[in-house]
Chain A
Amino acid sequence: MGMTMSQKILAAHAGLDKVVPGQLIEADLDLVLGNDITTPVAVKEFKKAGLDKVFDRKKIAIVPDHFTPNKDIKAAEQCKYIREFARDMDIENYFEVGEMGIEHCLIPEKGLAVPGDLIIGADSHTCTYGALGAFSTGVGSTDMAAGMATGKAWFKVPSAIKFVLKNKPQEWVSGKDIILHIIGMISVDGALYRSMEFMGDGLAYLTMDDRFTMANMAIEAGAKNGIFMVDDITLEYVKEHSSKEYKVYEPDSDAEYDEVYEIDLSKIEPTVAFPHLPDNTRTIDNVGDIEIDQVVIGSCTNGRLGDLRVAAKILKGRKVKKGVRVIVFPGTQNIYLQALKEGIIADFIEAGAVVSTPTCGPCLGGHMGVLAKGERAVSTTNRNFVGRMGHPESEIYLASPAVAAASAITGKITDPRKV
């Protein structure tokens, strides 16, 4: 029996020729990541254990992005704590406000994740880098602390589900619609403990931004990781962003998968996840009349340049519906700057949207767009759990940048093909 892409990467990093599902291994890490919420707990653990050295100052990345720019005194103290740790340990990849971005938009842009890498991050959306053909997974703060100290982590080798993507998506259908469709199909624990491996001819029609969005939301199906087969589109991205050595892993021809799904991308409709779970999906023609108070466009899921371009294409020359608040937050400083140069930021502002500095803020109800009781948002983020964006009695509808932008114009959830 052969190995999947994920299993091959794990085996290589554990110094083994072969691994099988369920096997417990210890593997060498290429990158250990944390943010301003999870790193303080990791640093506390690190210090409590009397550790005073990191395994490799170049293989750790710390990105204060959740409650930054500091939303209150306690958040400022947390950021100060990890800033000092990064300075004391001489961490090369510490990204301060001004050079930072939302971690999962920033890390690939900085060339810190490449095909074949084994990456852990104390943030559940660390699975994003699977878009580049890396094995990348979210862990907690203690794993981050142990990873920073030893450069290793323990893993239970996952089995996998294969998704064979076919054909070209329709206009206005993006990676977000595809992954929402898949989560709706397999449910929020449909891939629990397992890998989601994406391949097939349909990949040719998916930009890197589409793939980042899809790998990002693998966790919303419970997956350990989501990973894409590397192709020319991946390699072009890597060439443009990184000088790191990389290695391409393909699944063995006799790799065993628990399940195989063929997905005809041409049949996927714009898709929306209703409150309060990402698998509670409906296609746009079954949404009905849902009036909204707020639209959020951005995040580690959909804050990349391709996402902003799509939203701007719809909003350009139009006006946001009176009474609706539209908040756009680009993923990184670089994305923000590119959008500015392309005139996209002007399109947003002229339409009546606000544009925020990169931050995770609104996505997790932290700051910069918290919802009041009874309010409804259409959001391009990744979770619509109870209270995720604010009051426990507020509601979140997850959608693509195109649906979000169309909804901003009409004030209710709207098919982008109809505006």
Chain B
Amino acid sequence: MKAKGRVFRYNDNVDTDVIIPARYLNTSDPKELAKHCMEDIDKDFAQNVKAGDIIVAGKNFGCGSSREHAPLAIKASSVSCVIASTFARIFYRNSINIGLPILECDEAVQGSEAGDELEVDFDTGIIRNLTKGTTFKAQPFPEFMKKIMASDGLINYIKNKNQSG
């Protein structure tokens, strides 16, 4: 599986309150949430983001609230993946559980600017910056998490496991 898109670049400690502010959490409809994704730090994000685009951020991305609405809002914005130096653990868990591809790769983060075009190969963890002509390698996922993602999320994984006995 591969993704290709333009970079939206953010700094360290992007918290889930700015990914999707609590004032919009009176709904869990992903399309509604996507309309307000990132608006408190990047008010034009929802308007500018195109299918396949990639969020690139510094360390501790997704810190704070456990709201799954945050990865849901990003996924519903048609973002193909998030690359960060590190992720906050609940966000990391939630992304795997809902099938939003995320990659930890500090080198790729340092080597990418807003608007760069990236190509990501999820099977190998290879990230290419097509604008700058550079290549990076992300940490691969443990097998167990690959299985969850291959099932398109934890619930399907459990369902499949139950069915196969």
Interface residues of A, Cβ cutoff 8 Å to B = 24, 37-38, 40-41, 44-46, 48-50, 66-67, 71-72, 74-75, 78, 122-124, 126, 138-143, 145-146, 149-150, 154, 188-189, 192-193, 219, 222, 224, 277, 364-366, 370, 383, 385-388, 392
Contacts and interface: CB of A to CB of B under 8 A. Distances in A.
Contacts of A49: 155-156, 158-159
Contact of A38 (B59, B63, B67): B67
Contacts of A142: 68, 94, 97-98, 153-155
A122 B94 CA distance: 10
B66 interface: yes
Interface of B: 13, 15, 17-18, 21-23, 25-28, 40-41, 59-60, 63-69, 71-72, 86, 88-90, 93-94, 97-98, 142, 144, 153-156, 158-159
A138 B26 contact: no
A320 to B, nearest CB: 27
B148 to A, nearest CB: 8
Contacts of B97: 140, 142-143, 146
20 contacts: A41-B68, A49-B155, A72-B26, A122-B68, A124-B64, A139-B93, A141-B94, A142-B97, A149-B158, A154-B144, A189-B60, A189-B63, A219-B64, A222-B60, A222-B88, A364-B22, A365-B22, A370-B23, A385-B17, A385-B18
Contacts of A123: 65-66
Contacts of A48: 155
B35 to A, nearest CB: 14
A149 B162 CA distance: 11
A188 B63 contact: yes
Main secondary structure of the interface of A (DSSP, over half): loop
B26 A75 contact: yes
A145 B89 contact: no
Contacts of A67: 25-26
Contacts of B23: 365-366, 370
A233 to B, nearest CB: 29
Nearest to A26: B144
Q: Which 5 A-B pairs have the closest CB atoms?
A: A140-B94, A74-B26, A140-B68, A142-B97, A364-B22
Nearest to B90: A138
Scoring A139, A143, A189 by chain B CB atoms within 10 A of each residue's CB, the highest score goes to: A189
A74 B158 CA distance: 31
B158 A364 contact: no
Nearest to A71: B26
B21 A365 contact: yes
Contacts of A154: 144
Contacts of A224: 89
A24 B142 CA distance: 9
Contact of A124 (B18, B90, B154): B90
Contacts of B18: 385-387
Contacts of B27: 74, 78
Contacts of A38: 66-68
Contacts of A366: 22-23, 25
Given A143-B93, A145-B155, A189-B88, 10 more contacts: A24-B142, A142-B94, A192-B89, A219-B64, A222-B60, A366-B25, A370-B23, A383-B64, A387-B40, A392-B41
A219 B68 CA distance: 16
Contacts of B90: 124, 138-140, 219
A192 B93 contact: no
Nearest to B91: A140
Contacts of A66: 22, 25
A221 B61 CA distance: 13
Contacts of B89: 192-193, 222, 224
Contacts of A387: 17-18, 21, 40
A300 to B, nearest CB: 12
A143 B22 CA distance: 20
A193 B91 CA distance: 11
